[in-house]
Structure 1
């Protein structure tokens, strides 16, 4: 654990986002995505910043590895693919549903005990098949079911009431909030409700990157190391086949990364280098190339990132442009170490 005093909560304000990616068509910039980016060096210092990295923001599912660390610290015995699923935003594939059922079986509970919202699978192809088969929305199919199943399992192990595990005052959520503050190094600015129903904590983009770095550098055998190892070894269980975050972890040795709704992504390397990205309009088409550019700024070999350069813009079926990070995200913009 870290003993450094916590910084004050980040300011709740309209974030001062700036352009981070352009949508080009031919020689013209057709559109612009705003956002913020932070890159940390292995020493924890800020090597690059763009936009507003200190305003309060919601990490959404990018915070799930931190939640997983909190649960492992509190006694969650999962490892491997089930621990990856516990921090996942899964696609609703059968392996994901089967994994969530396995966790519930370990707890002696069923899908009816979950408190996440029923939903169709996140992956479009899986969802289309689900609909063709006439299957209704399901709590297991909802992309956070692995996290919810793990929360229930931990409640049973610790003798905590399972029926209100999503209440911010529940012992489980108090443990998670304390871990969020410890790993981000700052007080939580605000607590609201995430899409799946569990508490959502507002921290800064800087704090989110700091938390990812602390997980990625966890000493062998610690909860941080267990979480990092599970995510690195089983990226598809935390996402799904064809998902960009899984492909990125396969492409960059040792990388751990997690995305979240509304254009958030965090990533960290084993030596503590880390990045965090927030796209103001929530667009994945900008999140992917901006995150790749931030990783290049952090020192990742750009040749490993060529598959994450962004979607092309087409005209008449031909590529005529695309989504490209702004010039400030070129590696030459890297700040000198403090």
Structure 2
């Protein structure tokens, strides 16, 4: 088998003019000098659909990765998925893999007479550092249940059982579930996908613009904002699917990510928000008035995702002081600089 280095050398080089025109969003500053720069694109979208601020190339299509999960969950609720709110939040989660997350995925399966063998996601160790270390100390290995998308996959299998669709093969793009998901994502974003691929966990993955994804999150958060007074803790019969998912995420932020995860903390600190991250430097936040922000870090650097997001939230007029802490750059274990957003707004 040829070396990956030599295989790459025989691959035609990408045309720079075809690449997204990203802008410098976040810099690591060490002892007063810029050491590293994360480029990317972003948009702060007002409730009327106009842009309050942009950076880079927010119209360029990208793969939203796990930030698609709330949209996928909306499709499942539309198809009759009826779960307690904590489990609906888990259906939209990239969870850390603690006991509540693992037990929640099992509960979804058990409620619909399914088992772990019905899951078709990839295997992995728990995503959270502490959760992974605990799992390994207890002799655990990579499983489908501990993989961070197991809540979504349990919900997908359950949705198939509810509708009498085949559970086996539920990840196939031609499956009725994935056809419904594709149509729902197109509706919520207001865009046809620019490309289709496969996500890390095996689900179909659609490329959309930051503007389109921000539009979708604004819709979900706004729908939930109109339902905040409800006392219903069961199914979505009296609410729209968007409201059901938005409320579940807001009321159970731990299930969406986990303790110590910035997405969970952001939703706790910003009432009425619906937030979801995605691999390769993606962040979406919808707000109760229908506004939203979307960020894509070009190099996939996760550390740059939240500083850029907070800067865009400020462009919407939010007081970002409660969640605007910048990550320190360390030298010898002591802070010698900061990871901070640039003045990228336009």
Q: Aligned match of 1:273 in 276, 291, 305?
A: 291
Deviation at 1:156, TM superposition (A): 0.5
Structure 1 residue runs without a partner (length 5+): 1-11, 334-338
Q: Deviation per CA, 1:202-240, whole angstroms, max 9, x where unpaired?
A: 111110001001111125411111111000000110101
User: What is the TM-score when the length of structure 2 is the normalising length?
Assistant: 0.89
Aligned to 1:131, what secondary structure does the other structure show? Answer: helix
Aligned to 2:248, what secondary structure does the other structure show? Answer: helix
Mapped partners of 1:281, 1:328: distance in 2: 17
For the 8 Å contact 1:114–1:148, the answer to whether it is kept is yes
1:78 equivalent to 2:94? Answer: no
Mapped partners of 1:310, 1:78: distance in 2: 37
Aligned to 1:203, what secondary structure does the other structure show? Answer: coil
User: What is the TM-score when the length of structure 1 is the normalising length?
Assistant: 0.91
Q: What is the Cα-based RMSD across aligned positions, in Å?
A: 1.3
Identify the residue that residue 246 of structure 1 maps to in structure 2: 264
For the 8 Å contact 1:186–1:203, the answer to whether it is kept is yes
Identify the residue that residue 20 of structure 1 maps to in structure 2: 25
Mapped partners of 2:278, 2:180: distance in 1: 21
Q: Aligned match of 1:232 in 232, 246, 250?
A: 250
Deviation at 1:132, TM superposition (A): 1.9
Corresponding residue pairs, total: 317
Deviation at 1:191, TM superposition (A): 1.2
Identify the residue that residue 299 of structure 1 maps to in structure 2: 317
Deviation at 1:13, TM superposition (A): 4.5
For the 8 Å contact 2:70–2:92, the answer to whether it is kept is yes
Q: Deviation per CA, 1:140-182, whole angstroms, max 9, x where unpaired?
A: 0000000000000000010111000000110000000001000
Structure 2 residue runs without a partner (length 5+): 1-16, 228-238
1:260 equivalent to 2:278? Answer: yes
For the 8 Å contact 2:23–2:344, the answer to whether it is kept is no
Mapped partners of 1:112, 1:14: distance in 2: 41
Identify the residue that residue 101 of structure 2 maps to in structure 1: 96
For the 8 Å contact 1:286–1:310, the answer to whether it is kept is no
Q: Deviation per CA, 1:78-129, whole angstroms, max 9, x where unpaired?
A: 2310000000000010000100000000121110110001111001111112
Identify the residue that residue 36 of structure 1 maps to in structure 2: 41
